[in-house]
Amino acid sequence: MYIFGYGSLLWNPNFLYDEAIQGVVIGYVRRFWHLSPDHRGTPDNPGRVVSLFPDVSGSCWGIAYKINKKNIESTLKYLDHREKAGYQLKCVQFYPDNGSDPFELCVYISEAGDNIYHSVPTSIDEIVKQIIRSRGPSGSNLEYALRLADCQRRMAPKVWDEHLFEIEQRLLKECEYLRHEDEILEKLNHNLSYLVRERNNSEA
């Protein structure tokens, strides 16, 4: 069994796997159109996380994690709980970057219907404002968004995700404007001017 990671599973799978294969799923795009009331936000102030949404001309890069047969039950139990807020397990085709044959895998996605966490379409402005102000048990929403952009850039430098990288740049501009404090900015070496000034003043 393979599980497709395209969000926080890229840097924090937190389950045992035998192999990690980079590649894409076709016919879907990754968007910040899903509300997070349990990880990067709260029920009263939900954050924004990504899911996959149908798009006939789209694709999404990610990682296929191969799960050993003996670990399938425990892994699915863990992921069902982790992705409980509006995500459903679905089977899709995966195309490895190494050119080997495509194969079917499982992925957690947000689908419409009676899904109260499904929030689409949403403007970039609204997404950025919501991410900046949101925080949940797993950390700040800003950390999630910036880590995702960082993973995409480092792991798949030839794959451009316009939606993700536009949100990243807008978030950094908003942080600059608000002089927003979050340790992830320095961890990922985002040298915003006010952070550089503060660092220089502390060293003086």
Q: How far apart are CA 49 and CA 63, in angstroms?
A: 17
- Catalytic site residues? 83
Q: How far apart are CA 146 and CA 160, in angstroms?
A: 15
